[in-house]
Amino acid sequence: MVTYKVMEGIKKYRFGEPISTDAVLFEGDKIKDESLPFFILQYVDTFEIKYKMDNGDQIFGLGENQRGINKRGGVFESYCCDDAFHIPDKKSLYGAHNFLIVNGINKFGVFIDYPGRVVFDVGFTHKDYLEIKIDDKDLDIYIIKGSTLREITNKFLQLIGKSYVPPKWAFGFQQCRWSYKDAKEVEAVAENFIKHDIPCDSIYLDIDYMEDFKDFTISKERFPNLKSFAEKMKNKGFRLIPIIDAGVKIEKGYDIYEEGIDKGYFCIDKDGNPFVAAVWPGKVHFPDFLNKDARKWFGSKYKLLTDLGIEGFWNDMNEPAIFYTDRGLKEAINFVEDSKDQNLNIYSFFKLKDSFMELSNNTKDYKSFYHNMDGKLINHDKVHNLYGYNMTRAAAEGFKEIEANKRFLIFSRASYIGMHRYGGIWTGDNHSWWEHILLNIKMMPSLNMCGFLYSGADTAGFQGDANSQLAIRWTQFSLFTPLFRNHSTMGVRKQEPYAFDIESTQVLRNTIKLRYALLPYIYGEYMKAARRNDVYFAPLLFEYDDRYSKHVENQLLVGESLMIAPIYEENAQGRYVWIPEEMLLWKVKSYNERSFKVMDEGHHFIEVGIDETPIFIRKNKMLIIGNHANNVADIDNSEINIIAFIDDEATYTYYDDDGISYEFNNGIYWEVIIGIKKIDDDYEINIENKGNNLVKRINFDIVDLYGNITKKTVVISE
């Protein structure tokens, strides 16, 4: 073991010769130190960590996973997986996020930088032990020390580097469906948004826009002129966001296939031939995204679509998902043949059934292909979790070449720690289940702790039929998630915000308009989190240390001023909320209406009508509200509103920038620093305008602890 001091409070313990994942930005200096906070057991080929948890220890982090914000009691496996049934005992979803924080008398973060399979048994097998099993003996372990959860998180986020920042329009509402199959249908969706006066910034193109599911092709029949269509749609206020899949169809004459073969850019099997698996188009090869030349090549292909006016993409099936391989199919078919005319019993019948179920995403297949990493041949299984990461990195590096100072929208399904620098993620194929709203709520802070700020779930659920109530309640939560997208699979009930009844459309319209009005807050808080290595969503115990806040799993802090308590149960007329200090409750029906209630510290049942989104403004904090428009670019926020809940004084920094370039990295952004101080029965307002030439007028609703409202307006001089 070699120990490095990487940063203040962060040590790296290196075992053997780990494969470089590029998850971490800093190398560190070698030091003499063997002070790991847990036992390690090194076997010939594997590695195990054991930590005895105290009764009160909580375990946070682990990003995209099932179960609670506190992960204690579960077992989780980092091995990116295309599994569309996110039921509670599923161990792996699409991401591999090996960072956790132990919160007890001892507080520390642990990052296992190993890109193959890692199992986190968090008191599942042995209730008092955290046991981490790694399928290898070469790895880096980082230990992050700090006195609070936020401090540990901030340090970890600093270690792995600053978050991806999407364009501001990608904070607008987005509509998807597998698939809006042709230009006519896409246009009809856009017209429906316009007709129903529902804001929306983008419409997605799922796999049917392609010719036979071939990456970087466009169906001539369904989208005869994508360039002019994209332009027409943009003029109506909608960007088109096409999907890109990992597998490249094997087809003579298809240029991407031919080039990949010529240049040797595909993953290979043990005989050195391009590895064959089947996904949407049938047989495909997988680009070797771990080979930097192949990555560059694939990344450059996005230009084929950006040249047509496309400004955003979603990368999919990049675990990589495998439907079947010849090996698997042959074994399954042999098994069927052997079963012919047999009297199948309890064992043989289920074995027969499973032989087909096990065709997809099979570890045997993942073990049977190889990457070329800097000239070294590496078995895929050892680096499985880097695949989606590097596909998205390919895109991001491609965009740099295409137009370095322009922000593109990019997010991925599979991911590993570090990918957050290149793009966001969505949480994959959930269901229109109430349980999945709650899962979405719990997952967001865990993802943020692992660096993934730009994320969100398929709002209203991907699979299964949504009713209007579920679509509304989910939208009322998702309006706070940076990625705010409604998506559903083929064959299920339509769930666009206008797809239900008139009343529900009205509620969804108001809810989505609320999102647009809150953009100054949501975007500003996102940018602050990204620039300060901080989280945007946090569990309550990041800020409150009382005994209840420690365990709240269904309320979140959003940015610095808000707490939310979403409704996630069918037919609920309200819910219980833990309020850790006085807060101002605003049940928003329409963002222009104001009606507040001061809530005292304690447990409360709050009634929440189907048309209400409850927002809690924290004490001595401000919520900034702009205006809506039908897309982000059209919003006029020269006059903004602030709701402030003031005991004595508060300061809030309203952040904004051009929303399209990376100039904020060069110090080009605007800040309005707003100070409010209670003096006797009045308030003194101070505004410091740093480079802001946009806000002309701020209207204040200042509410005190007794619920008295003072209205003020400040006109900002040039």
Write out the residues near ligand GLC by the rule CB under 6 A: 178, 206-207, 243, 316, 413, 428-429, 487
Residue number, 153 or 486, with CB nearest to ligand GLC: 486
- Tell me the one-letter amino acid at 340: K
The DSSP 8-state label assigned to residue 421 in this structure reads G
Report in angstroms how near the CB of residue 224 gets to ligand GLC at its nearest: 22
Report in angstroms how near the CB of residue 364 gets to ligand GLC at its nearest: 23
How far apart CA 609 and CA 572 sit, in angstroms, is: 9
Helical H segments across 322-465, by residue range: 326-339, 346-357, 363-366, 380-383, 387-402, 434-449
Residue number, 81 or 563, with CB nearest to ligand GLC: 81
Report in angstroms how near the CB of residue 244 gets to ligand GLC at its nearest: 10
Residue number, 167 or 428, with CB nearest to ligand GLC: 428
Residue number, 123 or 428, with CB nearest to ligand GLC: 428
Report in angstroms how near the CB of residue 321 gets to ligand GLC at its nearest: 8
Do 428 and 332 touch, CB atoms closer than 8 A? no
The CB-nearest residue to ligand GLC is: 178
Residue number, 207 or 562, with CB nearest to ligand GLC: 207
Report in angstroms how near the CB of residue 312 gets to ligand GLC at its nearest: 15
Report in angstroms how near the CB of residue 487 gets to ligand GLC at its nearest: 6
Residue number, 243 or 579, with CB nearest to ligand GLC: 243
Residue number, 185 or 671, with CB nearest to ligand GLC: 185
The DSSP 8-state label assigned to residue 589 in this structure reads S
Report in angstroms how near the CB of residue 386 gets to ligand GLC at its nearest: 19
Beta strands in 116-274 (DSSP E): 118-122, 129-134, 139-145, 173-175, 202-205, 239-245, 248-249
Report in angstroms how near the CB of residue 302 gets to ligand GLC at its nearest: 17
Residue number, 207 or 395, with CB nearest to ligand GLC: 207
Report in angstroms how near the CB of residue 84 gets to ligand GLC at its nearest: 6
Angle at 279 between CA 120 and CA 230, to 5 degrees: 105
Helix, strand, coil abundance in the chain, percent, nearest 5: 25, 30, 45
State the DSSP H helix or E strand holding residue 514, giving kind and residue range, or none if neither.
helix 502-517
Rounded to the nearest angstrom, the gap between the alpha carbon of residue 534 and the centroid of all alpha carbons in its chain is 15
Burial of 714 (0-12, 13-18, 19+ CB in 10 A): middle
Residue number, 206 or 311, with CB nearest to ligand GLC: 206
Phi and psi torsions of 155, nearest 5°:
-65, -40
Distances (CA, A) of 553 to 233, 449, 543, 549: 41, 15, 14, 9
What order of strands is seen across the sheet that includes strand 248-249?
248-249, 282-285, 277-279
CB half-sphere exposure, 148, CA atoms < 13 A: 12
How far apart CA 101 and CA 117 sit, in angstroms, is: 20
